[in-house]
Amino acid sequence: MTRLTILVAGASRSARKLLRRQLESEGYETHEAASGREALAQLAVLPIDLLLLDADLPKMDGFKTCGRLRSGKNGKESLPVVLLVKKDTCEVRAKGFESGVLDFLVKPVRKPDLLAVCAERLDSEKPVTGLTALVADESPAVRVMVAEILRRKGVAVVEADAGAKVKKILGARGKSADLVVSAVQLPGLRGEALGRTVLGKLGRRDVPVIFLCREDEGRLALAAYKLGGADCLRKPFLKEELSGRLDLHLAAREQRTFTKKLKSRLQKIEALIDNSLLEFERSEAPQSLSDLAQDSVRLAGEEREVTVLFADLEGFTSMAKTVKPGDLLELLNEYFEGMTEILERHGGTLDKYEGDALIGFWNAPREQADHARRAVSAALDMLKFTRELSGEFQRRERPALKTRIGIHTGIVIAGNVGARSRSAYTIVGKEVRVAYALEEANKKYGTCLLISDATYGRTGETFTARELEPVPVECKPEPVRVYEILG
């Protein structure tokens, strides 16, 4: 705990001793003074953090002593003062206000109340990071009281005692002022003119301006208030009242700042979504929202000629036995990320992932005249991606990767399949099994990419290929003619 030094000033020697004993038992350092003059003299030379001041001192009572302290030039004008009074009444509070005191303890002082006041000086309230307040009032005592409460809340304070200084401060710092607490009447500036100056210099309507006025300054307060003041507080005010008002305005400003940041972020997100949708709709991807909307009938199910791609990782089963589960999932995710991006870049529709296999197709739900060519181009890019990823994995001491791909073109049923609550757009039919069989045939021929005669016939002379022996397929009465794509 930070060690505070407290000066106890009171006429009763026994009362002083009792207070000192209670404070020192909690680790505070203390000094004492028997009169107001002695207290001021000690404050001039001692590093005092808090003054406990008896209101009933002889000759110069506690109110006058505090008034002298607040109007002095000894660097202790803002020293926290707690006045010890017989009764805590509105009249006493008003008198204390004129002297620059906002904290009171009723005599005889109870130890819990005493320690609570000391702790309040020791532990400030939760800081409101980065906020700055302008406190403007001709009275040093009022400025001290307001500034003290704000600093307890973690708010930096800039003070002004006249209109000219307000103009100068706001002219230089207006954009960084987060709160203004100002008397409604200052030397050289008052009422409506003050309101126009403060609000005009700030240039923002989201900065709360709290005006302080006496009972006879109601018209001036109203004039300033109409210009956009957030609040008006009558002098003399209670510490609790001012603190509560400040809390409300600081919380409201913090909420406005948060809302503004949130709105800005939402606007950026909306712009990002709009741009993404625009690019998506401009692309040739069949998953485009506008395409799907136009093809709602097709989504219900229809016969379509499609080109099916079946890609599988070679040796994955043995790999799964040697690689840790977490590393295996990470490997698969990185592999599928690249493979899926290639498929969608070439306008394909992702059907599903099956273990280490990826299945995709073209020409559904949107028609693509060159669907066979797109599928083969995508397959070549997939093989190139796998080679590059395999090299990267080996540098990271991971298993090498090799992809086998089979492609076939034929008539299937395409549409949404599943339950009412959850369905997926997919293709079904024996032609899908042909693509799977061609992928498997790569093992026999030691190849990576085999396509059927039906697919090859739709690509023209786009790719270099060599014909291999036909591949028997269960669902076909005759073996399927196949080609290895070389490039």
- pLDDT, one tens digit per residue, over 182-202 is 888 888 876 567 667 766 666
Q: Is the pLDDT of residue 406 over 90?
A: yes
- Is the separation of the CB atoms in 248 and 240 below 8 Å? no
User: Token match 């609550």: residue?
Assistant: 421
Q: Provide the 3-class DSSP secondary structure of residue 251.
A: helix
Q: Is residue 452 part of a domain?
A: yes
Residues 326 and 225 in one domain: no
Cis? peptide before 236, omega within 30° of 0: yes
Residues 364 and 402 in one domain: yes
Residues 12 and 51 in one domain: yes
Separation between Cα atoms, residue 61 and residue 99, nearest integer Å: 11
- Is the separation of the CB atoms in 9 and 64 below 8 Å? no
> Quick one: pLDDT band at residue 44, thresholds 50, 70, 90?
confident
Residue with more model confidence, 435 or 209: 435
- Among 394, 356, 347, smallest CA distance to 375 is for 347
- Among 356, 358, 357, smallest CA distance to 328 is for 356
Residues 472 and 326 in one domain: yes
Looking at 90, 122, 154, which one is the last position of a domain? 122
How many helices (H) and strands (E) the chain has is answered by 17, 20
Residues 235 and 343 in one domain: no
- List pLDDT tens digits, range 211-222: 888 877 767 667
The model's pTM is 0.45
Mean pLDDT of 460-473: 90
Domain count, the chain: 3
Mean pLDDT of 299-316: 86
Residues 231 and 369 in one domain: no
Q: Is residue 47 part of a domain?
A: yes
Residues 112 and 153 in one domain: no
Q: Is residue 282 part of a domain?
A: no
Residues 348 and 242 in one domain: no
Q: Is residue 261 part of a domain?
A: no
Q: Is residue 117 part of a domain?
A: yes
- Among 125, 105, 107, 124, smallest CA distance to 115 is for 105
Residues 352 and 431 in one domain: yes
| CATH number of domain containing 188 | 3.40.50.2300
- List pLDDT tens digits, range 139-176: 887 888 888 888 878 888 888 888 888 878 777 654 56
Residues 168 and 89 in one domain: no
Q: What per-residue confidence (pLDDT) applies to 121?
A: 65
- List pLDDT tens digits, range 356-401: 899 999 999 889 999 999 999 999 999 999 999 888 888 877 788 8
Q: Is the pLDDT of residue 332 over 70?
A: yes
- Is the separation of the CB atoms in 341 and 335 below 8 Å? no
Contacts of 209 (CB under 8 A, 6+ apart): 179, 180, 182, 195, 198, 199, 202, 228, 229, 230, 231
For residue 437, give Cα distances in angstroms to 251, 353, 428.
68, 17, 15
- Structural domain span for residue 148: 132-255
Q: Is residue 101 part of a domain?
A: yes
Separation between Cα atoms, residue 231 and residue 271, nearest integer Å: 38
